[in-house]
Amino acid sequence: MMTPQRYRPRRMRLGEPLRSLVRETRLSANQLVMPLFVRSGKRVRAPIPSMPGQFQLSVDEVVNECRELHGHGVSAVLLFGLADRKDERGSGAYAKDGIVPQAVRAIKAQVPGLLVMTDVCLCAYTSHGHCGIVKYAQGSRLKALGKRGSKKQPSAESEFWIDNDATLELIAKTAVSHAEAGADLVAPSDMMDGNVGAVRQALDASGFDRVPILAYAVKFASSLYAPFRQAVESAPQFSDRRSYQMDSANTDEALREAALDIEQGADILMVKPALAYLDIIHRLKQAFHYPVAAFSVSGEYAMVKAASARGWLSERPVWVELLLAMKRAGADLLITYWAKDAAKLLREQ
Ligand SMILES: [Zn+2]
């Protein structure tokens, strides 16, 4: 007969009270952030086909949604705006009466206890769908195409580039317009070099030195964003975003990106997407000891929704497991389309 082990891990797995006693990682509603899509109109609650259970909401509906989220214990929302009109320079992004400032004002007035974060970028407002100012190569076929805002033209990367420094000015203006409306945190997602510094400087100069920056420090050029682009109608009309978003293969570069954002004044570091990049979340947490936010993106949500609709997975235990994995990797905040469901579940327990 074998000598029994002195330490038997199974002893502490017998029954939920014991398991719960030694559980290392927990979800908590006050670290959940719900992304919301806001558009013009009244009483609009337009379902997003690729993201079942998510909607494009008019300002009045976004307020109702926020009230409900806050009631369930969710602490924060992250707002994405949809443009009524688009142009080359994304002017709707930094319009003082733009859709995001309108929503921020309404939410802050009617659900004052809820933290309102805003995504700061141009891509939902530009005719070409890129996150910055597009410059076209001399004599480029795209010069004409881009101006007309024409759809999905094949192109080579050599035919255009995104003007980094010209974009910074507009990103900073966008952030200030959100802060003026009362945003509690701003989150620049354009992935231009120097964006966090530009936003910090502009906020400080406008008297918003107390508004923190949630930096999309490490944003990969991911195929998992596809359902989101349907949600905010922001797919690039030509080429892709690989000249500014990060290559999925890189981890050292992720650390350099995060270090730059910290140097420029980032208060929270975000990793996006989450699930395929848990190693990055882990490395960032280990290296910098900063609050880390994991953005569990639309594709992660859509995959689970689609599989569970076919009966191939059971939705709830899967997202619980996925959200725990992000926490375990080192994330503090979880930005997730399951924020409301998770907060409800936590209330029941
Ligand atoms: Zn963008």
**Based on the number of CB atoms within 10 Å of its own CB, is 158 exposed (0-12), middle (13-18) or buried (19 or more)?**
exposed
Residue ranges in the chain modelled with pLDDT below 70: 1, 139-156
Nearest of 112, 109, 124, 97 to residue 37 by alpha carbon: 124
**Based on the number of CB atoms within 10 Å of its own CB, is 234 exposed (0-12), middle (13-18) or buried (19 or more)?**
buried
The whole-model pTM stands at 0.94
- Catalytic residue selected from 272, 285, 305, 327: 272
- Catalytic residue selected from 86, 219, 305, 340: 219
Q: What pLDDT is recorded for position 139?
A: 65
Distance between Cα 122 and ligand 1 center (Å): 6
Distance between Cα 298 and ligand 1 center (Å): 15
Q: What pLDDT is recorded for position 147?
A: 53
DSSP state of 156: -
Question: Is the Cβ–Cβ distance between 243 and 216 less than 8 Å?
Answer: no
Distance between Cα 171 and ligand 1 center (Å): 10
Distance between Cα 344 and ligand 1 center (Å): 31
Q: What pLDDT is recorded for position 28?
A: 94
Distance between Cα 245 and ligand 1 center (Å): 10
Which residues in 324-343 are b (16+ Cβ under 10 Å) and which e? Answer: bbbbebbbbbbbbbbbbbbb
Distance between Cα 309 and ligand 1 center (Å): 30
pLDDT tens per residue, range 206-234 = 999 999 999 999 999 999 999 988 877 77
Cα separation, 1 vs 164, whole angstroms: 71
Q: What does the longest C-alpha to C-alpha distance in the chain come to?
A: 84
pLDDT tens per residue, range 78-125 = 999 999 999 999 999 999 999 999 999 999 999 999 999 999 999 999
272 a catalytic residue: yes
Phi-psi region of 160 (alpha: psi -120 to 50; beta: other; left: phi over 0): beta
